[in-house]
Amino acid sequence: MKTLPSGGRSPTIGLLLGLVVTLGCIFAYSQYIALQISALRELQNNLVDRNRKDTLQLLRIQNDLNLLALAMRDMLDNEEPYPLTAWSEQFARVRADLDDALRREQQYAPVNRSRDQQQYLESSLSQFWDAADRTFALAQGGHPDEARTQVRISLRSRQEALSTAVSRLLVANNESEDLATQQIGQIYSRVQQRAYVFLVVTLVAILVTSSYVIFWTRRLFAHLAVVSAQRGELAQKLIATQESTLRQVSRELHDEFGQILTAAGMVLARAGKQLPEGSSVRTELRELSEITQGALDKVRSLSQALHPVMLEETGLESTLDWYLPVLERQSGVRIFYEKPAGGFPIDGNSAVHIYRIVQESLNNIVRHSGATECWVRLRFEPQSLEIEVEDHGGGFEGRSAQPGIGLVAMRERAQLLGGRIEFVRPAKGGTLVRLTVPREKLEAHGR
């Protein structure tokens, strides 16, 4: 017989460790994804979106500078009939729009732009407007030629310098946006790579934990199989010991006490015959003989209840034919017995186990159910035997929550027979005990 493994340790620590590793991987990857998303959001907000808005303002500034360039070209055209002061209102409108565009551009300027670049743009624009103011002052003072010279020499060069500076800033913004696009692509690539790594680590953790669980589950089932086998062997030995003890006590009661009471009855009968008729002593001896005979009947009845001899001599059916009417008289519970006309013989250990199951079922009805009627049905199927004991009493609900030893013994006997026992609640209430045993098992245990 296999022995139980000793010194086994609980798998709880290993399972908890696997769970912690798996959850740790998930948490670490979640934190990593959160950080990458935060960095991506910051990159888009601080670089891409700012660059886009700043580029729009730079294009606005560049458009205003182009308008100034066209106005200065017209101012230098000798065929224009208008004086130079006629362009002062146009310059004023462009100046207001440039100031607004420059203010907005400063709000959206990229964080990587140097302060010198911003100051250069502001100072260049300020110098341009100073030169424009001087030019219009000369024109208003009656010096148009000098004003045109100022436009040709100073204003145009400053406008071209501003256009060049704005173009450089636009190029820088485009390069910065390209760099941001590359960084975003790198972030996506890193996240994708980490996703594969996380997937592999998580699968490995799950695989290790699952293997650990499978290992311990198989070990546990093997342990349970050994325990079940040992329990079955122990139950079989206990039941065999019980039956042997009951058989021995039954024989002692029948043989020893029965013989003693029989002998005592015979002695009392002989002694009574030797006394004259009408003697008071003879009457007392007759009463004592009747008491002795009653005790002998009870001893024989108790002997049959402990272990019916007819189980070994005539089999299960004859024993039930004797036992059920006896129990009906003793308990007052009416028993309806149903059985077919023909069937196969049931004797040996099979008969003993089935009889004990029926006996325990009926005892439960008498003691606990409160029913006044019950039904015992015996059916012989081609490949099995089925026996039912049914009552419409209180059922299991009104009994103690702890199962009695009788029910445990019934299950053990059913397992020893290789059969199946069921405890069912019928539609009318009460309890139905159904035992089904394969015929081949009955023949094997009957030998």
Digit-coded pLDDT (tens) for 155-214: 888 888 888 988 888 888 888 777 777 877 787 787 778 777 877 877 887 888 778 788
To the nearest whole percent, how much of the chain has pLDDT over 90? 10
Query: How far apart are alpha carbons 187 and 192 in whole angstroms?
Result: 9
pLDDT band at 105 (very low <50, low <70, confident <90, very high): confident
Task: Name the residue with higher pLDDT: 8 or 38.
Answer: 38
pLDDT(400) > 50: no
pLDDT in tens, 311-356: 777 888 888 888 899 889 888 999 999 988 777 888 778 888 888 8
Output the pLDDT for position 386. Answer: 92
Contact criterion met (CB below 8 Å) for 269 and 282: no
pTM for this model (two decimals): 0.49
Tokens of 358: 């029926």
Confidence tier at 436 by pLDDT (50, 70, 90): very high
Domains of the chain by start residue, with CATH: 12-215 (1.20.120.1730), 309-446 (3.30.565.10)
Q: Which residue has the higher pLDDT, 3 or 41?
A: 41
The pLDDT of residue 125 is 87
Query: Is residue 28 within 8 Å of residue 252, measured between CB atoms?
Result: no
Residue 417's pLDDT is what?
85
Report how far residue 194's alpha carbon sits from residue 409's, in angstroms, rounded to the nearest whole number.
61
The model's pLDDT over 74-104, given as tens digits with 9 standing for 90+, comes to: 888 766 677 888 888 988 999 999 889 888 8
